[in-house]
Chains A and B, each alone.
Chain A
Amino acid sequence: MKNRFFIPPGFIGPLLITALVLAAHISFGVLDGWDKFAVAVGTAVVAELFFHRLMTGEWRNLSSAYISGNSAGILVRSPMHWPFALTAAISIASKYVFRFRGRHIWNPTNFGVVVMLMIASDSMAILSIQWGSNMWAMLAIWLVGVLTIIKVRKFHICAVYVISFLFFAWIRSLMGEGVFLAEIAPLTGPMYQLFILFMITDPRTVVSTRKGQMIVAFLIALVEMFFRLGEAVYAPFYALFIVGPLALVIDILYRERKDAGVNMESGKISAAKA
């Protein structure tokens, strides 16, 4: 029997992030304002339409731009409007500028916020505080997010990252004067909810194999530890910024070699058969 409540996979991400934004803002007023949020989403959508049309001559599905705009709208903190627009525009533009073998290699929002932190840190910051003091609200968001991630078969990435983060937090607490609870505190905040549920699981920028995805998640947590030891406030974004594209390029090259090997083998077999 056909499932009446079937949600096309392409809509799951947009629906999830919309639900998160609505719940968080109506409950806690998490956004800097609907106007700034709208600027981010609007800019992302317009930029996607413009760049895709320019590059391909076609219109494209806007769900990924919508997610990028939402992420920028939530993550960026600035009293001004232009950083919201610029983050969204840079995020979308990066997809069309930095490509390898026809694929974009950075998670767009991750690229956008890291670049903005480099070029406009005097005008903006990234959401790094919690949405509310209610533990149940946090758990509810995690529950919905995790169920969704399970549905799109990316839970293993989140699980490996969280376990690795906890492990490295424990290492850090042993290395310095840090308190373990303080080391894991960020994990309970919304910045990490977005980072884990949307960025490191982005289907377009994760490597192809399940095992590879788990290794990359571990490496992100490892590199993040070094940024944290250097007291970088936005350590996870920097870690993903470095590990993500490197892993993807290596994965693409590895698959090409593997495919070439398979083709060569099958060529030999065909030749032998002939």
Chain B
Amino acid sequence: MMNQKYARAVVSGIFVLLLMVPYGIRKMAQLEEPGIGSDREEALDRYGFFLEDVTEEAGIDFVHKRATPDEKLNHILPQISSVGASVSVADFNNDGYPDIYLTNSEFGHSNALYKNMGDGTFEDVAEELGVANLNNFESGASMGSIWGDYNNSGFEDLFVYRWGRPALFRNEEGRGFTEVTEEAGLPGHINANNAVWLDYNSDGHLDLFIGGYYHEDLNLFDLEHTRVMPDSYEYATNGGLNYLFRNNGDGTFTDVSEETGIRQTRRWTLAASAVDLTGNGYPDLVVANDYGVDEIYLNRDGNYFENAGEISGLGFVPKSGMSVDFGDILNQGRYAIYITNISEAGVLMQGNNLWMPSSGREEGTSGSVRYRNVAGSMGVEIGGWGYAGKFIDFNNDGNLDLYVANGYISDEPETDYWYDYSRVVGGNRTIIEDAVNWPAMNGRTFSGYQENKLWLNDGSGRFREVGSSVGGALILDSRAIAVADFFGTGALDVVVANQNQPVRLFRNRVRGDHHWIGLDLTGRTSNRSAIGTLVFLYQNDGRITKKHVSGGDAFSSQSQRPVHFGLGKDPSIDKIEIVWPSGIRQTIHSPQPGRYHKITEPESATAGSSGVLSNGNFVSAAGSNSEPANSIKSEPLSLEE
């Protein structure tokens, strides 16, 4: 036995070392972090891009105003109305330039449709086209929107979900919009915070998923009682219903939520997105729920959905799911799923989830999926009070990076509501579900003034935060993120919608020697928006990158429909494979980089005869040579710009 005195000294020394562990870990993390700087040339040199705030010169002056529900909830209004700032992108008039739709929420305040004028500026045409005045007591408050050509007319239609009556607008050839909600057979009242276009049965018509947040029986603007809050912080069972509407192909929809098994729970759904994860040709749904576990609904050949949340590993530990996005972050032709949650130092450390398909098991080989959370080891776990988490290749190096919106309620600085919040959410359901029991906020900040995260992917499974060096790290209450090539440079620009605050548009300046390619897909047998189409890009170095056309993703967001790939310094491409929702597969060899290619789905007969359209040349599936998109062109970037 060691001498007692020395033993005590050794134990004390070890104890002191233990106390120093967090300090050491922090120091090591700081060493890995880039220095703060905003020098554009340095950012271009080190990271290959920088983001420039061009909101004002683009003519965008939209400021979101939050909804004002029943005065019985006034004492916690900022919490109740913490969402509603959303952004979706579509080329509504087919002029080749992506346009921006932004939702407002307060009654009397208009939504905005910013038409891209093609010269770096935008013009709000919502009023003249009939999609501006959507926030009023009769209809409710807008929470978000998604674009999709539900009637296969060749023009993207607009669906706006609200705390109230959802609204479907038919696009009249880009010259205006006609509301068709009633004739479409959509429901009268849902307190929805997300929606996704998907063709769940691959019949060529876009179906519609709507996620409910507050219970649909509640009219938040005229409450009969105050039991509107979740009945548990992590196991809530009193949220809004989720809906799946089948498109009948004649302008009407039928509620198939029950028969397809999509309506199994009453969780508080905040986000959802769809893509084929099992390889059976039908889109699966991943649903992020606040106050509970997330869900993954596997599509069984377009007949029904099977909730595989728990068995897949994704839906066991309850957190506060806020956003869903898919990304092939290791260029292996497999999708990871990123779901944001809440992290607040010392109070609540949920951490964001990055779900990777289990190693050694290809997606779809058994009709099932299995995931493990690798957010910690990849460095994308600790954000803040997260909302939209969106994969985007910022610098066109071929590796998907990540932009995460953070920040809940920024009110009076140096104040904090967390103490009061932690008291109530620790309580039993009889206490927590009644808003009357929630302490008044009185202008206090609640996880506010948080920076958004820009995590750069090094291609080998590690991300590092570069927001302070490249711009774009807003300290606003950011909610939604959409990416699109607004300026036709081949780089993906970023729009960030902020709650009760102004929207920001960032132009992405990418180093000239990083190449790219874009595909603007049009369905023929499949839905015309090509939503759900998978695209695999094979590079000569063996990398395979998977992307798809999304019908809505992240949090209350939708990005440009054309599929965009960064290629890095080597522009050579072996081939591109396109898997259309109809099942038609198409292969294009050695496509020319640096431009968008318009590709129309081949006739089924054409594809059916050969199975794969692969003639060794760069051709569209319809048999004609591909044509570059009429106005989105590659423009080499010079630093002097």
Contacts and interface: CB of A to CB of B under 8 A. Distances in A.
A67 B227 CA distance: 39
A29 B292 CA distance: 11
Interface string B342-380: 011111111100000000000000000000000110000
Contacts of A55: 4, 7-8, 11
Interface string B418-444: 111011111111111000111110100
Nearest to B428: A188
Given A181-B437, A231-B419, A233-B422, 12 more contacts: A32-B317, A54-B2, A78-B351, A79-B375, A125-B344, A131-B235, A133-B232, A179-B436, A182-B424, A184-B427, A185-B424, A191-B426
Contact of A129 (B2, B231, B234): B234
B23 A90 contact: no
B11 A78 contact: no
Given A123-B22, A189-B426, A80 B376 contact: yes
A185 B19 contact: no
Contacts of A28: 234-235, 318
A124 interface: yes
Nearest to A123: B22
Interface residues of A, number: 55
A183 B25 contact: no
B473 to A, nearest CB: 18
Interface in A76-90: 77-80, 82, 86, 89-90
B237 interface: yes
Given A79-B351, A97-B12, A185-B423, A133 B18 contact: no
Q: Give 10 closest A-B pairs by Cβ, nearest first.
A: A185-B427, A79-B351, A57-B1, A121-B346, A133-B232, A189-B426, A231-B419, A120-B22, A188-B428, A133-B429
Contacts of B431: 181-182, 185, 188
B316 interface: yes
A138 B427 CA distance: 11
B228 to A, nearest CB: 15
B381 interface: yes
Interface string A84-119: 001001100110110000000000000000010101
B427 A186 contact: yes
B21 interface: yes
A135 interface: yes
26 contacts: A54-B11, A55-B7, A78-B351, A79-B381, A80-B376, A86-B18, A86-B21, A86-B22, A93-B15, A119-B23, A120-B22, A122-B26, A123-B25, A130-B427, A133-B236, A135-B430, A138-B428, A177-B442, A179-B438, A182-B423, A184-B427, A185-B424, A185-B432, A186-B427, A189-B428, A232-B419
Nearest to B419: A231
A225 B348 CA distance: 22
B382 interface: yes
B613 interface: no
Given A133-B232, A133-B235, A185-B427, A89 B18 contact: yes
Given A79-B351, A125-B349, A130 B428 contact: yes
B22 A119 contact: yes
B426 A129 contact: yes
Interface string A174-198: 0001110111111011011000000
Interface string A143-169: 000000000000000000000000000
Given A29-B316, A97-B15, A125-B347, A233 B419 contact: yes
A79 B350 contact: yes
Contacts of B429: 133-135
Contacts of B439: 177-179, 182
Interface of B: 1-2, 4, 7-8, 10-12, 14-15, 18-19, 21-23, 25-26, 231-237, 293, 316-318, 343-351, 375-376, 381-382, 416, 418-420, 422-432, 436-440, 442
Nearest to B317: A29
A121 B382 CA distance: 13
Nearest to B345: A122
Contacts of A94: 15
B234 A130 contact: yes
B428 A93 contact: no
Nearest to B26: A122
A115 B19 contact: yes
Interface of A: 28-29, 32-33, 51, 54-57, 77-80, 82, 86, 89-90, 93-94, 96-97, 115, 117, 119-125, 128-135, 138, 177-179, 181-186, 188-189, 191-192, 231-233
Nearest to B14: A93
B376 A79 contact: yes
A233 B347 contact: yes
A29 B293 contact: yes
Nearest to B350: A79
A31 B396 CA distance: 40
**Max chain B C-beta neighbours (<10 A), residue from A32, A57, A80:** A80
A129 B316 CA distance: 17
A185 B428 contact: yes
A57 B2 CA distance: 7
A273 to B, nearest CB: 40
A133 B23 CA distance: 38
Given A179-B437, A191-B426, A90 B19 contact: yes
A231 B416 CA distance: 9
Contact of A128 (B18, B382, B422, B437): B422
A128 B424 contact: no
Contacts of A56: 1
Contacts of B235: 28, 130-133
**Max chain A C-beta neighbours (<10 A), residue from B318, B349, B420, B430:** B349
A116 B137 CA distance: 49
A198 to B, nearest CB: 17
A267 to B, nearest CB: 31
Contacts of B237: 133
B362 to A, nearest CB: 25
A186 B426 CA distance: 5
Contacts of A54: 2, 7, 10-11
Nearest to A191: B426
Given A82-B25, A123-B25, A177-B440, A96 B11 contact: yes
Contacts of B14: 93
A115 B349 CA distance: 17
A102 to B, nearest CB: 11
A124 B316 contact: no
B18 A90 contact: yes
Contacts of A135: 428-430
A55 B5 CA distance: 9
Contacts of B424: 182, 185
A125 B348 contact: yes
Contacts of A124: 346, 349
Contacts of B428: 130, 133, 135, 138, 185, 188-189
Contacts of B7: 54-55
B232 A122 contact: no
A122 B29 CA distance: 13
Contacts of A129: 233-234, 348, 425-426
Contacts of B12: 97
